[in-house]
Amino acid sequence: MTTPEIVADVLAELTDAPAEEILAVAARRFPGRVAFATSTGPEDQVITHMIAEGGVDMPIFTLDTGRLFPETYDLIAATTRRYGLSIHTYFPYGAAVEEMVDRHGVNLFRDSIELRKQCCGIRKVRPLRRAQSDLDAWVCGLRSGQGATRQRVEPVEWDDAGELIKFNPLAAWDEERVWQYVRAHDIPYNPLHDQGYPSIGCAPCTRAVEPGEDFRAGRWWWENPDQRECGLHHRTGAADRPVGSE
Ligand code: SF4
């Protein structure tokens, strides 16, 4: 059984622990009940590398919304090839996508925040909840300070929406450290990052940012910055109240 109280217990064990130790503790504490959710961002690629190279016993999954960049699919293929591992893909329910597109059009997310949330809900949040249904804990690549909606991230948090524990092994890392690690270990990454895309999600909802712009300014850029989350990361007491991940 997982409860928010366990978070404090695990957090005490992980004070100042390196990312590899956080992953090891997650796997040890929740054998067969924890998985890593990758969006293939550089942080996630670092974690995939640590799991593969460190022999961590933890399945990896991703969400395919059906609207990803071609470069993202190429990266998933390159990553599974490089590490000889499998990344399980969760897709949205076809009937739900069909009904949504029939009613509101293929680019409904441009029409209102509510429709954008609906699209994120059907294409991302519901598949995530399905992925989490057999888990007590999940791991993701959130860092503190990733834009206006992610100011402070703890190594372990209670995930209200999914009702399970969330491990953030890179909570204390900054962007420079992530990229140093990626380059030092020659980890595959999305080439769009070299073309001005610091945060990459679905193709129609992601644009390149200008130098000096917020990390996540290119995500749902037509909306208020406070609204720019997709509902994958609902954190009690944090600024990113749920709306519609990455
Ligand atoms: Fe839909 Fe855009 Fe959300 Fe992707 S990011 S699920 S295309 S609204």
Per-residue model confidence (pLDDT) at position 231:
64
**Tokens read off for 195:** 């073309």
The confidence score (pLDDT) of residue 181 equals 98
Ligand 1 atom with least separation from CA of 124: 6
Is the pLDDT at 242 greater than 60, yes or no? no
Average pLDDT of span 135-155? 83
Query: Which protein residue's CA is at the shortest distance from atom 2 of ligand 1?
Result: 205
Q: Which atom of ligand 1 is nearest to the CA of 244?
A: 3
The percent of residues above 90 in pLDDT, for the chain, comes to: 72
pTM for this prediction: 0.89
CA of 138 from ligand 1 middle (Å) equals 22
Would you state the pLDDT for residue 237? Answer: 35
The radius of gyration computed from the CA coordinates of the chain, to the nearest angstrom, equals 17
* Ligand 1 probe mutation, 65, 108, 200, most atoms within 8 A of CB: 65
The response to whether residue 105 sits with its C-beta less than 6 Å from ligand 1 reads no
The CA distances from residue 83 to 34, 57, 246, in Å, are 20, 14, 23
The answer, yes or no, to whether any atom of ligand 1 lies below 6 A from the CB of 123, is yes
* 216 in contact with ligand 1, CB cutoff 6 A: no
The answer, yes or no, to whether any atom of ligand 1 lies below 6 A from the CB of 109, is: yes
Work out which ligand 1 atom sits closest to the CA atom of 119: 1
Catalytic status, residue 230: yes
Residue 15 Cα, ligand 1 centroid: separation in angstroms? Answer: 36
Residue whose CA is at the smallest distance from ligand 1 atom 7: 202
- Taking 50 as the threshold, does the pLDDT of residue 243 lie above it? no
Residue 67 scores a pLDDT above 50: yes
Averaged pLDDT for residues 107-121: 96
